[in-house]
Amino acid sequence: MRRRLYQKQNCHLFFRYDCEKIWSTFEQAYVGQDPCNVSMGAYDPLIAAAPFRPACNRMMFWSKTKEVVHDFTEKRDCFLTLEDTLLGSVLDGLTWCGKQGSSETFTAGCPGWTDCSNNPVRSFWNRASAAFADVACGDVTAMLNGSITTPFSPTSIFASIEVKRFNSTMMRSLNVVLVTQESTVTNCTNASLKDLQKELDEGIKYNCKEVIQECSSNPEKPCGACW
């Protein structure tokens, strides 16, 4: 669904990409490799072939809010997540790996997310997240989960990769939207959010707002109407 939407909204961009070249660069990262030994760096050529363009004031990061954040961005095109980009939309939800001595791409029998840390899927999302965060600019939004005790978890991609790459020369502010899904467990005074503030470069302004899910995914509300 998101893939189709991406094509519909961004078909003009698609023509500027050489899809054959992108596919072969993608394959080169993992084909013929031990599926537990594919590093983030293996995807450098792929990111170079299909770079992320800065979308100032529209970039949306998230953690533990996958469903609600995409429910929200699907209905409005004012925010852009990694999963709305070319690479992110095509690879979201997919599993792939190679095998030593083989030139094939496998979609079954691949290591799971936590089976080994250098698996092809996890390394791709780590590398793509780093590249997406590298181009974060202007006022940036992050949708975090207010129904868990640690919305800013140190082991998440958002905390361990993205926030560390936010750069104050390009970014004006980080605006946390703390979404309550089922029950409110935490608010903007949460200890982990203090850690988030400490992680940010001095020049990046920090804001936090608490919202309820009904509001964040309501298609009737225009951009920014909920917060």
Q: Which residues bind ligand APR (CB under 6 A)?
A: 61-64, 66, 82, 113-114, 125, 129, 132, 156-158, 162
Closest to 30 (Cα-Cα) out of 90, 84, 111: 111
Q: How many CA atoms lie within 13 A of 86 on its CB side?
A: 21
Of 31 and 83, nearer to ligand APR (C-beta) is 83
Selected catalytic residue, list 97, 110, 137, 208: 137
The answer for 52, left when phi > 0, alpha when psi is -120 to 50, beta otherwise, is beta
137 belongs to the catalytic site? yes
Rounded to a whole number of angstroms, the minimum distance from the CB of residue 220 to ligand APR is 26
Residue 2 CB neighbours (<10 A): 17
Residue 36 annotated in active site: no
Q: Choose the catalytic residue: 11, 19, 36, 56.
A: 56
Q: What is the largest CA-CA distance in the chain?
A: 55
CB of 46 to ligand APR, least distance (A): 16
Element (H, E) at 198: helix 191-199
Per-residue b or e along 191-208, where b marks 16 or more CB atoms closer than 10 Å to that residue's CB: ebbeebeebbeeebeeeb
- Residue 184, both tokens: 């409110």
Whose Cβ is closer to ligand APR: residue 30's or residue 79's?
Answer: 79
The CB-of-154 to ligand APR minimum distance in angstroms stands at: 10
**CB-CB contact of 91 with 124 (8 Å):** yes
Of 24 and 95, nearer to ligand APR (C-beta) is: 95
CB of 19 to ligand APR, least distance (A): 22
Nearer to ligand APR, 24 or 167 (CB): 167
Structure tokens at 136: 């974060």
Active site residues: 56, 137
